[in-house]
Amino acid sequence: MYFALFYDVVDDYITRRQPLRTAHLTHAGKAQRDGLLRLGGAFNPPDGALLVFNADDVKQVEEWVQNDPYVLNGLVKAWRIREWTVVIGA
């Protein structure tokens, strides 16, 4: 199943993410190598982000979120996960 994870980030996200960026990208990179995370990135303007997961259960995505350095350090002010039915594409 696919899941879309939406992040709403703090106003000074670009500045505050710098010290945490390597840890966040390492966390995301592991999920990508494991086949869990398929796509991810910030919106333009950077008021949020979208990450797309392919998981057996939403709990896998929730666990990833709860361990994301951006969430743990308050850069994400809200997040939500939606199951996503893909009709075109792999």
pLDDT digits 0-9 by tens, 31-43: 999 999 999 999 9
State how far the Cα of 27 lies from the Cα of 89, in Å rounded to an integer: 26
pLDDT digits 0-9 by tens, 77-89: 999 999 999 999 8
pTM of the predicted protein model: 0.94
Domains present along the chain, CATH in parentheses: 2-84 (3.30.70.1060)
Q: Which residues contact 45 (CB under 8 A, 6 or more apart)?
A: none
Cα–Cα distances in angstroms (integers) from residue 82 to residues 4, 15, 58, 73, in the given order: 5, 28, 9, 23
Q: What is the 3-state secondary structure (H, E, C) of the chain?
A: CEEEEEEEECCCHHHHHHHHHHHHHHHHHHHHHCCCEEEEEECCCCCEEEEEEECCCHHHHHHHHHCCHHHHCCCEEEEEEEEECCCCCC
